[in-house]
Structure 1
């Protein structure tokens, strides 16, 4: 236990020092040191940190900056690749213009109050931008009911396409109160869905895989709330409103990016 703790301590210290360019350690193992050497290492590191406590703050800031940079690069790689799973619409609902030149991806939860408020913004965006393709990705993070509703909705994509699914989506997301399996089935049934097929489809590996894919993409994109959007080369978190999204769409149309130079 002591050797493991010392090795971990030495490694962390080495990372801190290396990050700030103070020392350059080679990889070491605790059992390569004699007891006297171990004691000396502990004394040196402790003395240095006690006398220079700000190094911990600086190192933490440096590591935080590096993590943010890595996350930004990962997001750019995902959103900038047309072949990215983000744009894979198998078992995902596509509304608006399915062949549109501009794609907006929305991550949402059927029990998300902010998603409900943003529903009108999405309707207006599609009306004002006939070249807009919208990919709806379930991100059921708020409750077990959200997961059940997402499974039924995902299954419904096999029976409802385009405008028909949009009608289903509006009715379910626009409903009052908590939403779960029963509410999703009721809406789908009212629109003419085959309930047996709907239930069977909701339990298929394909539906589970589609939802899991969206959850994993959200994690990779550092999305932890709904609604969130991907437009052009940018991830937009939160219900930012029609004007903000419309400006980004206009820029993507103009220069291929959300911010034109």
Structure 2
């Protein structure tokens, strides 16, 4: 929590105390004396401010967890069963991870090998990818292309193509995307024919609506069980989070 927010909260509390005191039979001099004593105590015991900050941060974190759980519950079908997103694993898996990605997102690329390693070491996890192109026209071309490949050529070719795009270092252009697609065994003509279709547009729009409902501010964003992780987390920390979610299920 930013220090400005903490100090505002403390100041607000002080004002509330002042208001309460104003309703008592204390004289003005007595109130001034008490205020001076409170100020002196805080100056002599600044750890009280740190304790107050810790309490406020914990309360804020608890409220965020509860809010995220509500968001996941209200959007559970769109998150876990939209009928078109790439899905690895079974619907009856004990834990599902949803990842919102952009193929030009640096943090998505950084997270990608970590996610793959975690999936390999946790084969009982179901994994869902949702394309959310937010970094320009090339991101949109990449997302439309992979979604078209998933529809036309199935999950195996999609997985190869998607993985190659995510591992590519450097700017994506239409020519680069086509080259990676060809190297991934994609039927280019079929991909191009479907990529700009109304079907893909509708699916992209559905994902955008879901992203707004999830209060997504960027990529990558993960939904791990009923926990929303907004941003990149190193592999060890993500593995720990996964275990915490497992223990809570």
**TM-score above 0.5, yes or no:** yes
2:143 aligns to what?
A: 150
Aligned residues: 189
Trace 1:1-261 onto structure 2 (pairs within 5 A): 75-80=68-73, 83-95=76-88, 97-99=89-91, 100-256=93-249
Deviation at 1:172, TM superposition (A): 0.7
Deviation at 1:117, TM superposition (A): 0.8
Which of the two has greater helix per residue? 2
- Is contact 2:65-2:227 (8 Å) kept? no
Counterpart secondary structure, 2:216 = coil
Deviation at 1:122, TM superposition (A): 0.8
Deviation at 1:88, TM superposition (A): 2.5
Deviation at 1:209, TM superposition (A): 1.5
- Is contact 1:106-1:230 (8 Å) kept? yes
Aligned counterparts of 2:227 and 2:153: Cα–Cα separation in 1: 29
- Is contact 1:151-1:203 (8 Å) kept? yes
Report the TM-score, using the length of structure 2 for normalisation: 0.68
Change (3 A) 1:212 1:82: closer
Q: Any gaps of 5 or more consecutive residues in structure 1?
A: 1-19, 21-68, 257-261
Deviation at 1:72, TM superposition (A): 7.4
Higher relative contact order (CA 8 A, sep 6+): 2
Deviates more, 1:216-225 or 1:162-171: 162-171
Counterpart secondary structure, 2:151 = coil
Aligned counterparts of 1:105 and 1:126: Cα–Cα separation in 2: 12
Counterpart secondary structure, 1:198 = helix
